[in-house]
A and B are shown apart, each in its own frame.
Chain A
Amino acid sequence: MGAWRHFPIFMITLPLLGAVLMPFLGYLRERWVPYAALLPLAASTLLGFLLVGRIPAGDHLSYHLGGWEPPFGIEIRVDHVGLFLMLVVCAITLLALVYSRRYIEKEVSPGRRTAYYVLYLLMSGAMLGFTATGDIFNLFVFMEILALSSYALVAITGNRNAVRAAFKYVLMGAPSSIMVLLAVGFLYSVTGTLNMADLASRIAESGYTEVLVVSYILFVIGFGVKAALFPLHMWLPDAHSIAPSPISALLSGLLVEVCAFALVRITFSVFTRSATDLVGGTADAVGVAAAAAVLYGGIMAITQKDLKVMIAYSTVSHIGYIFLGITAFTAEGLTGAMYHMLDHGLAKACLFLCAGNFIYLKGYRRIEELRGAWRQMPWTCFAFALASISVIGIPPTAGFISKWYLILGNIRAGKWLYTIVLLSGSILAAVYCLRIIYYMFFQAGKEEAWEDASRDVPPGMLVPVWALSLGTLFFGVFSYLLIPSLLKASAYLL
């Protein structure tokens, strides 16, 4: 047992500690805050990469906080799937934070900038803790840190539309948190434990079917709101489009995925295979909602005029993809869902940051205003195009790989209707993405719309955008690096 066992806890607590220390730095040297905020996240990322390959295949790392063995103390449980998602979280939060410095200087008033970095670090740490925890009440605690910081980050510009969108988010998010708390209470009442692994074994032998089913329904509603599953997505388009772009990238690229992953944990680590017949009916309903989400999100995205709102509706559609992968209950489907979390995270973060570039340079939010953008902002436009290709799911990109496995998983499960839905979702994505690419590259813009702009945004904002879009390409071409271990890990979860 080496020192690496302690890495996950420091991956989680270092950003939290950094967040608490930021106000001091803000008091002493405010200019240093954007740089200092990078340190804890960089440390987490480093620790995460050092963990790769340490966890034996088909096994997990279990860390007992305070030295109390699991049912008595809290356990941190990192398996391959969890570590994979933690690395995605680290990488994207780090890149969006690099991007933030310039963008925040322009959009957020000086008195609120330190608070922005504090909340940003809290949110990153909470996402890591949320992914890694093996205790169901601890899951709730980290979900609340995540929720609180994201409510505030949506409202951080302080303008009236932002505060209203954030308040709408609170009005949907807070009751959903309470539902999760109630669901945890139900589970506790019939099992007497809060540890996920212990719950899994006790659920199988407990006789309280009704309580378990309703508890699962409440989990689905609670996490469904947080993950913006179709009928519960109303807060998403407002909140994701009005938030500052790096925050939109985080909300859309990570937060909804992490919440979907929580439902994966609840479904596969807590209720497990043995209880699948318990939750099967609910899972079918989730599948229907997810299929509706794919179509609804796609159609709504086509009708939008505002770029960020369009990308937000595309997220609604892609959450449907992830849930369709989960409800297939096959290793391929789950692998597709996990890989989709990766490539959707990269591509959506990239799209939102590109949209942020247009807002930063010209203040343009509407799609028509992007006519001929290519001539002035070639780098941004090419990154946008690459990420769009991944969103559509065209071969050399990661989007293709994940959709391939999603479809394969649904075919294995015999769900032909969902296969058709997945394919038509891609066609819808092609319509809304190619429309923008058409505007950018093949339409001449008004001369005066672009003449006074400098060439493209500063490198500090271009590098994260390109890192993300090249990431989608990299994980598309070199998918064989991850897919086999993900398949194995998914089979282990099932």
Chain B
Amino acid sequence: MKRVLSLFFIAALGVLLLYVVASMPPMGDPQTPTATHVIPRYLERAEEETHTENVITGVILNYRGYDTMGEVTVIFCALAAVLAVLGRERRGRIRGFVDRSPVPSSTIVRTMVRFMVPFIILFSVYTILHGEISPGGGFQGGAIIGGSMIIFTTVFGLYESSRRIPQKVRAPLEGSAVIVFFLVGALGLVGGGNFLTYAWPHAARGLQPALVTWLTVLVEVGIGLGGAMVLISILFAMIREEEEIALTA
């Protein structure tokens, strides 16, 4: 009964949505409202206004920087929420649990992972720092670091990986993205602009390009570090609970 009702509801919604699609502006057409209203200014002037060659990075960090500040708050919030639900591991190393997280793996896998992880992290540093001139940026780089730690933890176990990135390293860095954003925002006020103004009106005109570039890099690094640490902490919190299940089962 419930299934039939929900099928009916979803079918109605689907027909409605398809009807909308049929009356939407044609895709890929350069004359649609999306392509003609706000965009031309971004595409033409982003380079001189935000000093980033990658317009997307300019939009994310500069024109819509406040959204991104909300976004880094969302990831921090996710971490706080996961820790509120699952609880944080105790300070220092994790003891008292049977470490069942490592998946049985051959020597080849272990050697390769040990060999690859530093390079993956190096690549993420490149992604973070080159976000303004090529595809990439803080979030992507942070996700890559998180991914590298996921591989490492699956192969070597929670004990090994939490020894390499202990809680006292992660905890102060988890909020770094929000803090950096707040600082850059407040500095904009000091520089005579509004919150999150990168090109300070009070700064000398010649200094502004360098200023904007360095503030952008600062924010990217903050986002990258913060994002990576949040992902790693979430991973550790989840794996720890799995071990408890393994113990009680």
Contacts and interface: CB of A to CB of B under 8 A. Distances in A.
Complex A–B touching at CB under 8 A: yes
B194 A66 contact: yes
A43 interface: no
Contacts of A21: 175, 179
Nearest to A27: B171
B140 interface: no
Interface in A453-486: none
A414 interface: no
Contacts of B77: 119, 122, 145, 148-149, 152
A65 B181 CA distance: 13
Contact of A66 (B38, B62, B179, B182): B62
B32 A192 contact: yes
B76 interface: yes
A112 interface: yes
A378 B248 CA distance: 47
B63 A115 contact: no
Interface in B166-209: 171-172, 174-175, 178-179, 182, 185, 188-189, 193-199
Tell me what chain B mostly uses at the interface: helix, strand, loop, or mixed.
helix
A372 B80 CA distance: 41
A118 B80 contact: yes
Interface stretch (A182-190, A295-303, A382-390): A182-190
Nearest to B64: A74
B81 A119 contact: yes
B20 interface: yes
Nearest to A112: B84
Contacts of A42: none
Tell me what chain A mostly uses at the interface: helix, strand, loop, or mixed.
helix
A146 to B, nearest CB: 9
Contacts of A202: 33, 37
B33 A156 contact: no
A120 B2 CA distance: 37
A359 interface: no
Interface stretch (B66-74, B93-101, B103-111, B146-154): B66-74
Interface string A109-145: 0011001101100100110010000010110011011
Nearest to A119: B80
Contacts of B83: 112, 115
A152 B81 contact: yes
A397 interface: no
Given A66-B66, A141-B70, A156-B84, A24 B76 contact: no
B87 interface: yes
B29 to A, nearest CB: 12
Contacts of A89: none
A112 B188 CA distance: 36
A251 interface: no
Contact of B63 (A73, A155, A186): A73
Contacts of A214: 16-17, 19-20
Interface size class of A (residues with CB under 8 A): 35 or more
Interface string B28-42: 000011111111011
B85 interface: yes
Interface in A139-192: 141-142, 144-145, 148-149, 151-153, 155-156, 158, 163, 186, 188-192
A64 interface: yes
Contact of B194 (A64, A119, A163, A193): A64
B86 to A, nearest CB: 9
B135 interface: no
Nearest to B176: A20
Given A21-B175, A65-B65, A214-B16, A115 B33 contact: no
A319 to B, nearest CB: 22
Q: 9 closest Cβ contacts across the A-B interface?
A: A192-B37, A152-B81, A20-B175, A141-B70, A192-B33, A115-B84, A66-B196, A192-B34, A65-B66
Given A13-B69, A23-B174, A214-B17, 8 more contacts: A6-B189, A6-B194, A20-B76, A20-B175, A66-B193, A119-B80, A144-B70, A145-B74
23 contacts: A9-B195, A17-B182, A65-B196, A67-B197, A72-B63, A74-B64, A111-B88, A116-B84, A118-B80, A119-B80, A135-B66, A138-B70, A141-B71, A141-B74, A145-B74, A152-B84, A189-B32, A192-B32, A192-B39, A193-B38, A208-B23, A208-B24, A211-B24
